[in-house]
């Protein structure tokens, strides 16, 4: 699911295996969103769209080697 916990809200952002969209789990509720933070379904109505961009956007192999940072 490649989940990441939001550092402020503690909600879980991951990829929904059925739809490939962003799945947010927050205090027992679930919401499905696009990679741009657009609501698609579910009870979670608070979304951080940038977290959706990070989790749901293109995920190329990170060139973030053990030895040298780009950023």
Residues in touch with another protein (CB under 8 A): 1-10, 12, 14, 36, 48-51, 53-54, 57-71
What's the closest the beta carbon of residue 14 comes to another protein, in angstroms? 8
C-alpha–C-alpha distance, residues 66 and 24, integer Å:
30
The answer to whether the beta carbons of residues 34 and 24 sit under 8 Å apart is no
- What is the C-alpha separation between 56 and 49, in angstroms, rounded? 10
Residue closer to another protein by CB (options 4, 45) is 4
Q: How far is the CB of 15 from another protein (least distance, A)?
A: 10
Q: Decide whether 28 or 62 has the Cβ nearer to another protein.
A: 62
**Cα–Cα distance measured from residue 38 to residue 30, given in angstroms and rounded to the nearest whole number:** 14
């Amino acid at each position: 699911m490649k989940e990441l916990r939001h550092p402020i809200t503690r909600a879980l952002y991951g990829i929904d295996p059925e739809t490939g969209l962003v799945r947010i789990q927050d205090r027992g509720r679930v919401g499905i969103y696009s990679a741009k933070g657009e609501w698609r379904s579910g009870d979670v109505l608070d979304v951080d769209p940038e977290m959706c961009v990070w989790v749901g956007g293109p995920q190329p192999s990170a060139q973030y080697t053990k030895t040298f940072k780009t950023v």
